[in-house]
């Protein structure tokens, strides 16, 4: 019986692999992007309702988060429209919010639903470093890493159950899988780390996206050094799903020449 079940899971795995338009890599995909975006809208509003959102009209930090995010989103749209890959951002309705939370964290849900926690700003310290963070998180979403992780969780924990069935039969478990896949909050349970491959992809494309928006990608190195130092002193939620180490910084430096090709400083 176990052999049959294992064979079924392997069949589901191979049948459900699709090629990602951004990275070109084959990914497990048991959940459609449109389904995830529908869930994201609901969970995003639920999160904002349960937390203190900083008003971007009266707070310079919140305005900065919105400004940087909007610039990156516009740059990404221009880039993929130019490549004839408009479908990469299909259904995206961008929102950028700063929430009052001492944890150093940030995340992006499908469809461009982004949150930055106030605790992260003491580590970013400047607008360009914030762009590195937002580029990284947006890259995770556009490369569909959360979808990949949620698909893996559905396969492992619910036997490959499709999303609609999982929501109908086990709504709480499915909601937790979604929130965990996107690193939302700390009350959901242990945040599963992204794989090294996913992290490398997010770092690389995050650099490109920040550079396209006019932010110096070289700010990534001192930012991750500050993040690593802060993580050594205390537990940081951002690091629980985004490991920071010497190998990461080495890889970022290796990607820097290509990122600099996209960099056009903003006019002051």
pLDDT in tens, the chain (268 residues): 444 334 333 333 434 567 777 777 777 777 788 888 998 999 999 999 999 999 999 999 999 999 999 999 999 999 999 999 999 999 999 999 999 999 999 999 999 999 999 999 999 999 999 999 999 999 999 998 877 777 776 666 655 455 555 555 566 776 676 677 666 754 333 334 556 788 889 999 999 999 999 999 999 999 999 988 887 544 455 555 455 578 889 999 999 999 999 998 887 6
70 in a structural domain: yes
- pLDDT value at residue 32: 80
Q: How many domains does the chain have?
A: 1
12 in a structural domain: no
245 in a structural domain: yes
Q: Are 148 and 120 in contact (CB under 8 A)?
A: no
Distance between CA atoms of residues 164 and 142, nearest Å: 22
3 in a structural domain: no
Q: Are 185 and 176 in contact (CB under 8 A)?
A: no
5 in a structural domain: no
Q: Running DSSP on this structure, what letter comes out for residue 75?
A: H
Helix boundaries (H) for the chain: 2-15, 33-50, 60-82, 121-124, 127-142, 145-157, 163-169, 171-181, 196-212, 220-233, 237-241, 246-262
- pLDDT value at residue 238: 54
> Which entry of 33, 137, 198, 201 is annotated as an active-site residue?
137
- pLDDT value at residue 10: 38
1 in a structural domain: no
- pLDDT value at residue 235: 43
Distance between CA atoms of residues 228 and 171, nearest Å: 36
Q: Are 106 and 116 in contact (CB under 8 A)?
A: yes
2 in a structural domain: no
Q: Are 94 and 112 in contact (CB under 8 A)?
A: yes
Does pTM top 0.85 for this prediction? no
237 in a structural domain: yes
- pLDDT value at residue 11: 38
- Domain span at residue 36 reads 26-181+191-262
Q: Is 137 a catalytic residue?
A: yes
> First and final CA of the chain: distance in angstroms?
67
């Amino acid at each position: 019986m176990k052999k049959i079940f294992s064979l079924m899971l392997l069949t589901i795995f191979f049948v459900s692999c699709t090629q990602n338009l951004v990275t070109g890599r084959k990914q497990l995909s048991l959940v459609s992007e449109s389904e995830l975006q529908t869930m994201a809208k609901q969970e995003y509003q639920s999160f904002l309702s349960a937390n203190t959102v900083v008003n971007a009209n009266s707070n310079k930090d919140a305005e900065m988060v919105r400004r940087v995010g909007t610039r990156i989103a516009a740059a990404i749209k221009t880039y993929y429209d130019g490549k004839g890959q408009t479908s990469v951002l299909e259904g995206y309705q961008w929102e950028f919010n700063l929430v009052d939370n001492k944890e150093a964290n940030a995340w992006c849900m499908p469809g461009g639903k982004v949150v930055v926690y106030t605790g992260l700003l003491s580590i970013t310290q400047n607008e360009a470093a914030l762009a590195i963070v937002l580029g990284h998180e947006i890259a995770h979403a556009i490369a569909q890493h959360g979808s990949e992780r949620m698909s893996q969780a559905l396969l492992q924990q619910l036997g490959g159950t499709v999303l609609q069935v999982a929501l109908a039969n086990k709504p709480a478990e499915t909601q937790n899988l979604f929130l965990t896949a996107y690193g939302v909050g700390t009350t959901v349970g242990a945040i599963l780390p992204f794989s090294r491959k996913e992290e490398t992809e997010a770092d690389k494309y995050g650099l490109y996206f920040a550079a396209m928006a006019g932010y110096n990608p070289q700010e990534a190195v001192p930012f991750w050094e500050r993040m690593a130092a802060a993580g050594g002193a205390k537990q940081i939620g951002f690091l629980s799903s985004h490991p920071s180490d010497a190998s990461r910084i080495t890889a970022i430096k290796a990607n820097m020449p290509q990122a600099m090709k996209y960099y056009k400083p903003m006019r002051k």
